[in-house]
Amino acid sequence: MSREPLAAPIPSDEPWKTVLLLVAWGGFAAWCVSGIPPSVDLPAHAAQMQTLAELVRGNPQVSADYEAHLPLGYGLPIWLFLPVTLLTNGAFAARLAAWTALMLLPLSHLALARVLRRPTWTVVFGLPLAFNISYWYGFLPSFFSLPLALLSLALYLHALRGPGRAVGAVVGLALFSTATMLSHLVAFGALCVGVAALALTSESRRRAVGLAAAGLALPLALCATRVVTLASRAVTAGDHMATDYGWGSHFNWLLRNYRPEGRLAVVGPLLVTLVFVVAYLRHRREEPRAPWVLFLALGALFLVTPKALSGAWLIHVRLPVLAGVVALVLVDPAYIARRLRLLLMLVVVASLAETARYHWRFKQEVAGLETLVASPPPQGVHGYLSLVGNRARDSRLVYLEHLGQWWTATQGGVGHHFFADADHQPVRFRPGHSLPQALDANSARQLAPFNTLLVYGDAPLPGTLTDFEETARAGSWRRLERR
């Protein structure tokens, strides 16, 4: 391991400041995920949670169409929050899981800062990274796995610092790396790349490789077969999405698609990262090499990872947040001019203000949904239909795609369009069973299985819905029941 980093002076009242920061962040995060947050897939994951709870309870109506399983490499938070779902509902459990992930990111950053002896207050620079693509797209397993991977890296760095720390750190690494793998394989792959880079560049390479092997053996053994299957899909044709590198999208996808969500959500972290990288390069002789190696490895992984791989889409844009957090522990921030640090703090505050503004605006745009999902649907199949497409106003992200699945997540019953046609999800259709996914208002055949519909949009109802009557309305939302 390279030489120890310089220890920055820590004021005696810093623990209180840390607690106050985390409490304030927790309140802000709770407001963001409350109500109807702008998050594409979160309603579908919430419906997965509620349907899983219904299967555990033995609901015959639900079990006639769906079954549960424990997939390797995906979906741990859906199982992890099952007790919460059983006590409340899938909607609350999904919001709590998203809040937990928002809290874990600064905690994982804090763990890296502590093991590298950086000041706690540098965690503030990383707060906008919490609102990454996995948050906006509501990729709950991916979003949950990112801080777990960072915590695992912190434990590995802690183990490398001395024999007296190794045993407990390796046990922790084994647990957190396994949790990362069970949440999402992409984050686990990034973790393995980071650990390998640290091990191979360590001064005590044999010891470092041994610690890495001990810490990663369990999850690697569990997912080996799954990895081989996915790797074969990446190079063979089939009914899954073909591998697509998408070179240009590595540099412009986020900038092009983040519009009302806030340009600073991308530009801000890039600016902060650039400042820390330049500061490291100027003072690299006084600083440890390990964080730089880790930053380069995770940055290179982002550049070489395809846009679509093994049937999954936008793989590469889930990874920059890992390199972004590591960049913030590259150097002692005392090397950065005080005025520049203040400017970066203002950028962070402005970015979070943009984020808050869009959350408020989106909740106003879809107001009324909470009112309608508070009442249970009747017996039979219920569905969701948007008459205005799947994009929210001015946004390029498809926030309206799964929005109505908050009904299934809140009330249970037989819903649809929550990934039950995918084998890697905890809840899937029973063999021989299926329901239409995204509904087309012009297709009477698609609408035939549904007894109740939740419709969004003020446009006139199409002729295909003449067999339904409106029984409730709130804002731009209507509840329709078959006559």
- 3-state SS class at 429: strand
* DSSP string of 168-198, one letter each residue: HHHHHHHHHHHHHHHHBHHHHHHHHHHHHHH
In this prediction the pTM is 0.94
CB distance 113 to 119 below 8 Å: yes
Q: How far apart (Å, rounded) are the C-alpha atoms in residues 446 and 441?
A: 8
Instruction: Give the residue among 297, 310, 68 at the shortest CA–CA distance from 185.
Output: 310
The type of residue at 182 is L
154 contacts: CB under 8 Å, gap ≥ 6: 108, 111, 112, 114, 115
CB distance 356 to 28 below 8 Å: yes
Helices and strands (DSSP H and E) totals, the chain: 19, 8
Q: How far apart (Å, rounded) are the C-alpha atoms in residues 387 and 260?
A: 22
Q: How far apart (Å, rounded) are the C-alpha atoms in residues 477 and 369?
A: 6
CB distance 4 to 116 below 8 Å: no
- 3-state SS class at 312: strand
CB distance 264 to 350 below 8 Å: yes
The type of residue at 330 is L
pLDDT of residue 393: 87
CB distance 40 to 94 below 8 Å: no
**99 token code pair:** 């809040």
CB distance 418 to 138 below 8 Å: no
Q: How far apart (Å, rounded) are the C-alpha atoms in residues 414 and 177?
A: 35
- 3-state SS class at 439: coil
Positive or negative, the CA dihedral 306, 281, 133, 421 is positive
CA dist 207 → 73, 166, 198, 393 (Å)? 28, 10, 12, 55
43 contacts: CB under 8 Å, gap ≥ 6: 94, 138, 402, 403, 404, 405, 406, 409, 418
Q: How far apart (Å, rounded) are the C-alpha atoms in residues 266 and 248?
A: 16
Beta bridge partners of 479: 454, 472
Instruction: Give the residue among 102, 211, 205, 215 at the shortest CA–CA distance from 152.
Output: 215
* DSSP string of 14-80, one letter each residue: HHHHHHHHHHHHHHHHHHHHSSS-S-SSHHHHHHHHHHHHHHHHT-HHHHTTEEE---TTB-HHHHH
Q: How far apart (Å, rounded) are the C-alpha atoms in residues 139 and 137?
A: 6
87-90-96-102 Cα dihedral, nearest 10 degrees: 160
Digitized pLDDT (tens) for each residue of the chain, 483 residues in all: 444 443 344 444 478 889 999 999 999 999 999 999 999 999 999 999 999 999 999 999 999 999 999 999 999 999 999 999 999 999 999 999 999 999 999 999 999 999 999 999 999 999 999 999 999 999 999 999 999 999 999 999 999 987 777 899 999 999 999 999 999 999 999 999 999 999 999 999 999 999 999 999 999 999 999 999 998 888 887 777 888 999 888 888 888 888 899 989 999 999 999 999 999 999 999 999 999 999 999 999 999 999 999 888 889 999 999 999 999 999 999 999 999 999 999 999 999 999 999 999 999 999 999 999 998 887 899 999 999 999 998 899 999 999 999 999 999 999 999 999 998 999 999 999 999 988 988 889 999 999 999 999 999 999 999 999 999 999 999 999 999
